[in-house]
Amino acid sequence: MKTYRLSATGRRTTILLLLAAFAIWAFALWSFSSTLNISYNPLEFWSSLMTSVDEGLAISRIVPALLMLVLIVATPLLVWNLLEEWAASYTPTPDGLRFLSLGIEVLYPWQSIRDVRRVDDDSDDPMDELLLADDQTHQIANPVLRFLHAQAYGRTRLPIYAGLQDRHELLAAIRQHTELLNEPVQSEEDA
């Protein structure tokens, strides 16, 4: 059984995306603090926030602060998704497709894979996803990892990353296993 992981190019791309995400997160933290004129020092945070509120918050401060707050919350989720992509491995087994990444191990039975679908045909690096008939995330014992995995992919989808080495070979193996299950069984009378 061959295991498929990100290629060297895919890993470099993921590192660049991680660096960009950290830069965006740092900018959002700095911008949020400067927009509201608050301190992140734990001893001064509440007093600086109350002072800022007492001075009055104009819409010109609230809107950028809310945008930065969204980035502060969303960027760590993006970082998790990129780290999960970095560590992802796919192994076709007789029972199904085994997905491993950062403490997550899920076996997607062949009969639960409904379709393999291209996410974006126009992209230079096309990405495919498996559409699943049912939720297999119950196999992830840790509830935090289960939540993070589900928020990144959804409960009935699994991406097949563009940066995987021998990705076309993996897709062919998935299609072969799922087509064998979906072929109609011939009766002896038809043969």
Q: Are 102 and 129 in contact (CB under 8 A)?
A: no
Mean pLDDT in the chain? 88
Q: What value does the mean pLDDT take over residues 160-174?
A: 92
Q: How far apart are CA 131 and CA 119, in angstroms?
A: 11
- The two three-digit tokens of residue 149, written as one number: 């995995």
Residue 35 confidence (pLDDT) above 50: yes
Q: What value does the mean pLDDT take over residues 21-29?
A: 96
Residue 151 confidence (pLDDT) above 50: yes
> What are the pLDDT digits (tens) for 81-138?
999 999 999 999 999 999 999 999 999 999 999 999 888 777 777 789 999 999 999 9
Q: How far apart are CA 17 and CA 116, in angstroms?
A: 25
